[in-house]
Every structure is written in C-alpha cells, then in structure tokens.
Amino acid sequence: MENVGTKVVRKYYPDYTKCPGCNWRVSCLYCFEGQNIEEIGLCAQCFLDMVVDEGWNILTDEELNST
C-alpha cells in the first residue's frame, strides 16, 4: 500500500471560537489541507478522535519519504 501525504493545518483564534464537534470554546481549530477550516475545523481532541476512529496513521515527513 502506498503512503499518501496529507498535511494538517491549524487556525488560531485569539478571541476563541467553538468547536463544532464538542461545542467547547477553543483557541485553535484543525483540519486537513484543502478543507474549509471555518466549516469543518475541529479542536485538537475532536480532530485526533476522528483520526483514530477513521483508522488513519500519522507519519512524519521523514517516515513518509522513506517508504
């Protein structure tokens, strides 16, 4: 199976925003590059829960390039 890289991006909200996953007030939202962070961005906990639940593997750039 070929490894395909997808970057994770973060947006900082100095005045806080609500995570659409848990509705907590947070200062950062995360999503995959190319997605609209304003629409589907999640807090770190919700984002990582989604990654685990979907069975994604997280590799560093070095690991990705060595396979």
pLDDT by 10s per residue, the chain, length 67: 445 568 899 999 999 999 999 999 999 999 999 999 999 999 999 999 999 999 988 777 788 787 6
Q: How many residues appear in the chain?
A: 67
pLDDT at site 65: 80
Phi, psi of 31 (to 5 degrees): -160, 175
Report H helices in 1-67. Answer: 37-40, 44-53, 61-66
pLDDT at site 5: 63
Q: Please state, in angstroms and rounded to a whole number, the distance separating the CA atoms of residues 20 and 60.
A: 27
pLDDT at site 64: 77
Q: Please state, in angstroms and rounded to a whole number, the distance separating the CA atoms of residues 32 and 3.
A: 16
pTM here?
0.80
Locus of tokens 């007030």: 25
